[in-house]
Amino acid sequence: MNNFDEKKQNSFQLVIASKNVHKIREYKIILSSLLPNIDILSLIDFPNYIPPKETGKTFEENALIKAEHAAKELNKWTLGDDSGLVVPALKGEPGIFSARYAGENASDKDNRLKLLKNMEALNEKDRSAYFECCIALASPEELKKSCCAYVEGEITYKEIGGNGFGYDPIFKKHDYNKTFAQLEEALKNRVSHRRKAIDKILCAIERAIS
């Protein structure tokens, strides 16, 4: 074994309990900049793992389910993430069903188009929305911490921008005159709901490493 392999083997491993390649990429970029010495894995690295059903009624409940189940089954420290878009004028839709708003096998674009269709009759003031991200950190033995963070904005009338994923092309952050899909990746990763949630849970991860 060479020195690099030995270092990787002995480093602290943190599993992101997701198979969403876009979400995993954001976590790896953000966490690597904050904690450069940890080894960040995802459920893609464990193809035989079967995730639990997301039976929670809130983002936080689903994040807890993901984190605790994966941590115990994989015997590794795990971050569970559940996040999505909330439109108060639509009674909270798409909410916890953000990833499957237009159906179980719907694409991101399918979900965006359904949301835009459902908002056609809404006036400007009713287009307010917010992204919510809830994260739970669990060891193989127990839950350690959970937190949620938010970014407020509004839904545009059409898709704008080619970056990001999910609802990024139709979500405009209040203090920016751009959608998330128009922002450079580095900027989005500094101001997003996911970054805010990571900042809240960072101390708990640092304690786990030490």
Collapsing DSSP to helix, strand or coil, 81 comes out as: strand
Say what percent of the chain tops pLDDT 90.
93
Is residue 1 over pLDDT 50?
Answer: no
pTM for the whole thing? Answer: 0.92
Mean pLDDT of the chain: 95
Task: Provide the CB-side half-sphere exposure for 210 (13 A, CA).
Answer: 6
What whole-number distance in Å separates Cα of residue 174 and Cα of residue 164? 17
Provide the residue range defining the domain that includes 88.
Answer: 3-209
The CATH number of the domain holding residue 194 is 3.90.950.10
Pairing of strands 171-173, 77-86: unpaired
- In this predicted structure, what is the pLDDT of residue 11? 87
Distances, alpha carbon 148 to alpha carbons 50, 128, 132, in Å: 25, 19, 7
Is 108 among the catalytic positions?
no
Q: CB-based contacts of 189: which residues, under 8 Å, 6+ apart?
A: 26, 29, 30, 195
pLDDT at residue 190 is higher than 80: yes
* Token pair for 192: 């997003």
pLDDT tens track for 68-124:
999 999 999 999 999 999 999 999 999 999 999 999 999 999 999 999 999 999 999
Q: pLDDT-based confidence at 210, cuts 50/70/90?
A: confident
Q: Which residue among the candidates 5, 45, 81, 82 is catalytic per the annotation?
A: 82
The model's confidence at residue 2, banded by pLDDT at 50, 70 and 90, is: very low
What local confidence, expressed as pLDDT, does residue 173 receive? 95
pLDDT tier at 6 (50, 70, 90 boundaries)? very low
Q: What percent of the chain has pLDDT over 70?
A: 95
Residue (of 39, 130, 139) closest to 89 by Cα position: 130
Contact 192, 210 (CB under 8 A): no
- pLDDT at position 181 over 70: yes
Cα–Cα distance list, 14 to 11, 61, 136, 198 (Å): 10, 20, 12, 13
Report how many domains make up the chain: 1
pLDDT tier, 10 (very low <50, low <70, confident <90, very high otherwise): low
